[in-house]
Every structure is written in C-alpha cells, then in structure tokens.
C-alpha cells in the first residue's frame, strides 16, 4: 500500500538529505533522545522504578516497569534502538509502557553504554550482564522463574537477537521469547544484498546510504561484521533459540533482513511469527502508533508474549 497519508505529510516536510553532512553523535542525541509524548499522555502502569545496578563490569541505569499489583511476574528485558549511539531510558519510555501493560510482563529497560565512547562488544555485554543480574535477583523482582523474554527495536533488536545467541552458548540463563521490532541484523554494508535496501533507499526517514556511517560508531576498530554477535543473521545454527516475534515495516530499508531472519528461524524449528505493517516506516513505535493502522502492535506483542510455547 502507499505510505500512510499522515506519515507522508511529515515526509514531505523533510528536506532532502545532504550526502556531505556527517553525523555528530552528541548533536544526534539532542534531537532524538526525547520521547514524542508528554508524560501525562503516556500509558499508565502500576509502578515505574529507576535504579542503578552493579554488574560484573560496570554500573548501569535501568528502569523497572510493573504492570499491576501481584505476587510474581514474567520478565522482559528491553534494549532500546538508536543505531547503538543514541537512545536512553526516557526516549523509549512511551514504547515500554504499553508493552508492559499489554503483556503483563514486568519490564526492565536497560540504559546500556553507547558508541562511539563504548563500541562493540560493550553495549552487547551490558545487555547480557543486566539480563544475568535480573535472573540472579529474580526473588526481589518477583520473577516467576520461568518466563524470560528479550525485546528491542532497530539496533536494540540486534542486541536482543545477539543476547539470545549468547544465552544459548553460555547457558547461564534460558531466554524463552524474543521480540524484534524492525531489527537491524546485518551490519555489513559493503553491498546492498536485500531488495528493501534498494526499494526504500531514500525518502523514508532512515536511508540506506547512511546506514554504514550510523553503524560505524558501534563498529569502531577492526570488527568482523560476519560475526553472528555483530550480525545475528550470519549465525548458521539457529536451532534451540527462543520463540520469536519479528515485526517489520513496509517502507524500511531493513525490512527484508528481518523477514529473512524470521524465515531462517522457522526453518531451524524455532516457533516464529512475522508481522509486516504496511504503509509505515522504520521507527514507527511511539511515533505512529497513535494511528489506527498501527496501534495494535502492542496488543499483538502482548498476545505473543502470553502464549504458551
């Protein structure tokens, strides 16, 4: 379908990108690290607690969302997007709240350290270590001890998929489900190997020609983009991974790598659901979920997380 008319109105106001303009992480963060909705218009949950925890390597700020009063809860770790160099707890608060409410999961959002100050593998290790911390502190978190899900959008989807791979390898805890929203799963931009990178190359907020520079901050130094913890889609053995929900957007350069990863998971025997939202762009959570066509993404996430697998 065509781009949603309300989204097209916004796209039509954006000037053509300047190929010579470089990304300055600090300036980018000032623009994109703020939520769209004011606090009073965000979804209400039972409680939100912010705290700083100590992992084996560093202190990390987290935000704990509790959906309702209760004795125990399934647990979901949320890793925000932002090309590994932007985003924080506040920027994704309006996304995490409805996931918490619709799923009934207690959600822990993670403010992992960002590139370029902290390139690969530091953000990934932070996400893994906070997940491990949550498991070790399950009693105080009122975790049910069974259901442990990971979720993330864009680069956060990359981190969720990579932590799932690490958890399978290390066997320090078991991840039961993963939710990947328009995930960035292939960080090798030496060629445009997916049709959506060509079809949606320009004019839809995120542009294919800028992806290499956006991800260069995370890939600082000699990073092998074929490594599955960098590009999870390169993992050859996808067996025994958590059940997955992969959500993609029609007008997203990263659409096809997300859908291919979902297909590969299915072929490996992993219970996988794929939903493509038509007429919408990358990054639509929060920005466009007020529109009727996209507001059910949180309900569908909740339904997946509640299913017995």
What pLDDT digit, counting tens, does each position of 38-87 carry? Answer: 889 899 999 999 999 999 889 999 999 999 999 999 999 999 999 999 99
What pTM value is reported for the model? 0.97
Band (306; pLDDT cuts 50, 70, 90): very high
Average pLDDT over residues 16-25: 83
Is 118 one of the annotated active-site residues of the chain? Answer: no
Is 282 one of the annotated active-site residues of the chain? Answer: yes
Instruction: Tell me which of 125, 153, 186, 252 is the catalytic residue.
Output: 252
Instruction: Tell me which of 154, 155, 184, 196 is the catalytic residue.
Output: 154
Here the tokens at position 273 are 């659901």
Q: Is pLDDT at 31 greater than 90 in this prediction?
A: no
- Averaged pLDDT score across all residues of the chain: 96
């Amino acid at each position: 379908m065509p781009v949603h008319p309300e989204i097209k109105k916004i796209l039509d106001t954006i000037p053509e990108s300047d190929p010579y303009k470089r990304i300055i992480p600090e300036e980018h963060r000032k623009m994109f690290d703020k939520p769209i909705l004011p606090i009073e218009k965000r979804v209400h949950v039972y409680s939100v607690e912010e705290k700083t925890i100590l992992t084996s390597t560093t202190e990390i700020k987290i935000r704990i969302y509790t959906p309702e009063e209760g004795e125990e809860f399934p647990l979901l770790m949320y890793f925000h997007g932002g090309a590994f160099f932007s985003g924080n707890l506040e920027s994704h608060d309006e996304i995490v709240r409805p996931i918490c409410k619709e799923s009934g999961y207690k959600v822990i959002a993670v403010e992992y350290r960002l590139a370029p100050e902290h390139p690969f593998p530091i953000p990934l290790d932070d996400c893994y270590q906070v997940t491990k911390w949550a498991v070790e502190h399950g009693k105080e978190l009122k975790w049910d001890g069974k259901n442990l899900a990971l979720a993330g959008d864009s680069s956060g989807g990359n981190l969720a998929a990579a932590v799932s791979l690490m958890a399978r390898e290390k066997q320090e805890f078991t991840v039961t489900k993963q939710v990947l929203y328009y995930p960035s799963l292939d960080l090798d931009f030496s060629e445009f190997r997916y049709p959506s990178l060509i079809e949606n190359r320009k004019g839809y907020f995120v542009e294919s020609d800028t992806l290499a520079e956006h991800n260069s901050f995370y890939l600082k130094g000699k990073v092998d983009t074929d490594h599955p913890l960098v590009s999870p889609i390169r993992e050859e053995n996808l067996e025994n991974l958590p059940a997955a929900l992969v959500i993609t957007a029609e007008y997203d350069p990263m659409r096809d790598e997300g859908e291919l990863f979902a297909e590969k998971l299915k072929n490996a025997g992993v219970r996988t659901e794929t939903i493509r939202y038509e007429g919408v762009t990358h990054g639509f959570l929060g920005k466009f979920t007020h529109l009727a066509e996209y507001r059910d993404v949180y309900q569908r996430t909740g339904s997946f997380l509640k299913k017995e697998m």
